Structure 1
Amino acid sequence: MSTPTAPPPPRPSGVREVVGYNWPLYAGGLSAVAGGLALAPHLPRVPAALARTGALAAAALLTGSTAACWWVYDRSELYSLDWLTGLLPDGPGDHLVISTGLDETSHPLALRYPRAAQSVVDLYDPALTTEGSIRRARRRVPPRPGTLPGRPSRLPVASGSQDTVFAVFAAHELRLAPDREALFAEITRTLRPGGTLILVEHLRDRVNTAAFGPGAWHFMPRREWLRLADGAGLRSVTETRIANLVTAFAFSRSAE
């Protein structure tokens, strides 16, 4: 008699899932396109031109952001973790994965480094992570068994116990600066001397603004992550770009 096996985890989110998580935004954008084009023939010349321009701008934004998501989440090395070798040539060792409602990092890490001890903490709190997309993503990808609940000000992990902490598309979901500051302080507490924080985020920069338009304001600028790391006593070691739209930082705790 064969032993039942657990169902495989869902594949990491690609453009199809991103659209599903954010369907109200896409529905609003498509409505703007359709409404502008439908209304334009019934308007005087100048308002009609404005309606068509608005519709075309909305269409361009939808197309550009969807293409950017496809490039990052379906075509890049983001989920293969090939980019990680340059940041952690010796591997992650004992490591902590932090999520804020959607964890698509711990499983690829466990497959790539099966001998490394891993802990996972989920900071999801409807009062803090208010985005509807996070609720929809969490329903599709529930936390893995053994995931511990945590708060930005309290990670349920012993002090100085981790060689590496991963925060992949997680920290920007904490919309209040004091919560981000508390999280970085806790990350420093959990790291061993010489340990590393791997922070992966879209940045609010020219490239992401061109790709996502106003949606790039959901991201944090590079200076904010450097400020948080410096305030927590973490030193910037190196960084790399993934698909030219995502930045992976490596911050180190002092070895002293």
Structure 2
Amino acid sequence: FYNEETHTELSIKKARKIYPQGEDVVKIITTDIKFRENFADKIFLIFSLHEVRNRREKIKFINELYRVLKDGGEIVIIEHLRNLNNFIAYSVGFFHFYSDNYWRNVF
């Protein structure tokens, strides 16, 4: 769900150079996912949702995910947190992540 016009974090640009997208990748717009309602059984966002920096866009994206999710389906979100463990691992880079409290307020 990377959009180079709105997702301008340097870390994403570096990652795209090292790991270019495969040809089978389906590009989506976070605020308008082009899948029908009740499309997916499971949706996984692994260490990626924090890259959507705009809170309003993030909330619209989550709403879109629920729209395309089948009844009884699951959305699995795994994220880094801005906490002591990530400070030890990433030093000041941990400021790139959001706090547990932030995530609880988004949902």
TM-score, with length taken from structure 2 = 0.87
Q: CA deviation at 1:139?
A: 2.3
Aligned length: 107
> Superposed, which structure 2 residues align to 1:170-249 within 5 Å?
170-229=48-107
Match of 1:132 among 10, 18, 37: 10
User: Which amino acid counterpart does residue 162 of structure 1 have in structure 2?
Assistant: A
* More displaced stretch, 209-218 vs 196-205: 209-218
Q: CA deviation at 1:197?
A: 0.9
Deviations 1:153-201 (A, max 9, x none): 0112211111110111211011110111111111111111121111111
Deviation at 1:219, TM superposition (A): 0.5
* Structure 1 residues 208-254: Cα deviation after superposition (integer angstroms, max 9, x where no partner): 1233232111001122222323xxxxxxxxxxxxxxxxxxxxxxxxx
Aligned residues of 1:148 and 1:156 also touching (Cα < 8 A): no
Evaluate the alpha carbon distance shift between residue 221 and residue 153 of structure 1 in structure 2; reply closer, same or farther with a 3 A threshold.
same
> Which letter maps to 1:145?
E
2: CA distance between counterparts of 1:142 and 1:166? 20
> What SS class does the counterpart of residue 5 from structure 2 fall into?
coil
Runs of 4+ aligned structure 1 residues displaced above 6 Å come to none
Whichever of the two has the greater Rg, that structure is 1
Q: Which residue of 2 aligns with 1:165?
A: 43
**Rounded Cα–Cα distance in structure 1 between residues aligned with 2:10 and 2:84:** 26
Percent of aligned positions that are identical: 27
Partners of 1:223 and 1:159 lie apart in 2 by: 30
Distance in 2 between the 1:133 and 1:143 partners? 15
Partner of 1:110: none
SS at match of 1:149: coil
Distance 1:131 1:223, change over 3 A: same
CA distance in 1, matches of 2:102, 2:68: 21
